Structure 1
Amino acid sequence: MAANVSSEGVTVRKMLPILSASTIGTAIEWYDFFLYGFFSATIFNKLFFPLLDPVTGILASFTTYYIGFIARPIGGAFFGWFGDRVGRKSVLVTTLLLMGISTCVMGLVPTYGQIGFMAPLLITILRFLQGAGVGGEWGGSVLLSLEYGDNRRRGFWTSWPQTGVPLGLALAAIVVIVIRSIYSGADFTSIGWRIPFFFSAVLIVIGLIIRIRILDTPAFTRLKEENRLSKAPLSEAFKYHWKEIILTALLRSGEQAPFYLFTTFVLGYGVTTLGIPLNLLYTGIIVAAVVSFIFMPTASYASDIIGRKRWFMVGTVLMALFAFPFFLLLQTKNPVAVVFAMAFAIGICHAAVYGPQAAFISEHFGAKLRYSGASLGYQLASLTAGGPAPIIATLLIANYHSYVPLAIYIIIMAVISFFAALALKEYASKDAQLDRDEVESSLSPANTSV
């Protein structure tokens, strides 16, 4: 039987190297992932789809962007299998290399004007590899924090890898602003856009140095010593946890779809439709990332106290309530209003649910199948929520020429998350879900009192 993970001996000082390895590595991977999103909303349609009209070009750019989301559950399944069979640490090193190398090579890809149709094909392949890397990364980074931490503060510990998202988001926005200030106009579209991708090489080295020093988690080490590793973690995860996988995927609807509207779609929409300066939108993203970095662990700590379900459901309601105000504030084009809209949407509404989500999802799976199960639940939402969101939003604007359908779309996604959270069990401050063999052992006659 798995013993309770006591808070005794689990201190901030002991957790700091673990949290650093998971958070910094995750931030680097998200920096890579967000760079593509920024450029797909602003310049990739001109560089790789110049023969299409502006709307169709943006749709084509977002479609290649979506390829990364299609790859995420594939990467989650593939690397989840290795994470449950070989170990958390090995997979984390591999995904960091895959993501970083793919991003660096993106900076070398010629444009459509140079090599024709091969250009969008190459960028799509590299985007797929990026998505596969992110798909395998999340489960390992979260499990590293969860399996070294204790039950009482599980939400708080696992929120730190989640802060890799605002860190990567802010870093990507800052680098783009700096490069745009150095390379303006035609210089940026010819050479300047490549430099942020090359910068990923430096970040890879930093991430590897930190991650290589970390040992595998106590939970995985114990499973290995007891010869209890699953032989087929992927199929067993579907067999025993299909309900949890579906519900945790739906759980992310009201978090992931709005997030990519707030961070990716808003760049093209804000500049083209509303006439908001691009650098102002990037500034809004940076401010939002700072607020998110602070609020995410705070919200997660609160979920440890009042319960993951209750907190998450309140967060989805907040997201739905802010859907219309977000777009109304953007319409003003006032710099303060625009930055506030983005900071509140990303830094408060999104962070409120994204921070506790790591524990909420992963604690529904036993240690034997946790990498596979949690990765699948988390990454399948990429197909239904995160990936399609900018495409759906672009089509809604093109057809209705109004922000109202966009706000309604966000509300619908939030409602789906609300009911998915309602259907899931509460594990806050308790042991996470046991593996099937542990459950059967606890129900055996030898362990049953008369």
Structure 2
Amino acid sequence: MSDPVPEGSARDAAAAVWRIESARIVGALARYTGDFALAEDLAQEALAEALVTWPRDGVPREPAGWLLTVGRRRAIDAFRRRAGRDERYAALAHELGEGGAATGGEPAPEGDDLLFDPDRIDDDVLALIFVSCHPVLSREARVALTLRVVGGLTSDEIARAFLVPTATVQARITRAKKTLAAAGVPFEVPPATQRTERLGSVLNVVYLIFTEGSSASSGDDLIRFDLATEAQRLARVLSRLVPDQPDVHGLLALLELTTARFPARTGPDGEPVLLEHQDRGRWDVAAIGRGRAALARAEGLGRGLGAYGLQAAIAERHAVAPSVEATDWPRIVVLYEALGRLAPSPVVDLNRAVAVSMASGPAAALPIVDELESSEVLAGSHLLPSVRGELLVRLGRPAEARQALELAVARCGNERERGVLRRKIADLDGA
């Protein structure tokens, strides 16, 4: 241990180590114990121990290893209590070192046992991701569990991000652990026969986290940078752990190309700036480069682009265009048509309508929107009347446009987006 440090500095150090290393710590403990729920609890207990010990004794030279050792010793304590009824626990306690004393507030020793096994880290983290995103869990549970055990976010942070009570997040995580235990989900990277299907669930969770971050469904902020950044980090981790899957690189490309526009998407007061008014000089050139490189890797695997890759290809067309007018809208229409065949969705059809309106005019796009409206597949969404109102404005039908935009305002849950819609209505009134 080093010398004592101020409590605030020690807490900051613990938080930083936890955010970076929590997935590795929980993954290693899950491999040691064979119990995913127990591993997450042990890791949390180790973090709590650090918050007490580090201000007193100083931050250790290997802080992540310190947390892992404390978690392992607490596991030994648990195994000893259960050893009478389960020989496996007794054997594992012996394997982890019967000579090690229970922590009980005692500092963890420095030494080789603190180090992660570099040959197992990637497998541990990948297994952790697959377990957290297991299809047996509900979508909300997958998101909460992934952000907790893979992203290292606290329940309070997750609750603030999704504007729900902390108790709701905690209940979702608790239910998720019980569901995984009841279903007998093993802590392992799934076999090759299941990996592709399970990977789709993993990518969907990362995409959902990013979508909520990039266009918040409710609240006062248009972008929730913490969620978007965490999803981006998870996608980068996956691209290293599963480098032979084009969908992984396609998702990473989509996230990089989308975040590249973040600096120009809001004004000084946080108000949304529409694409046609954005200062493209503020777009993140480095992120565009990373996104295009990831898209090239997805294409280079030779298996064609999946849904995420096609969306990334659309984002790339925007990223390389000098203006809205100079954008290759016909190519974007083709990409949306391909996406609609591969992953049918009313939102894809709505986005295709926008592209059609730019490529061929609003009159060509309005029938697509009217068909979506009559089918009621987007009932309750503000996106459909918002697009319809914009098309009607361009067609010179202000009364109908106003009606559509007012409906969009009523349905919209994000205050920033409502402001944009209200300004459009005000523009109609002033015309």
TM-score (norm 1): 0.27
In our comparison, the structure showing a higher alpha carbon Rg is 2
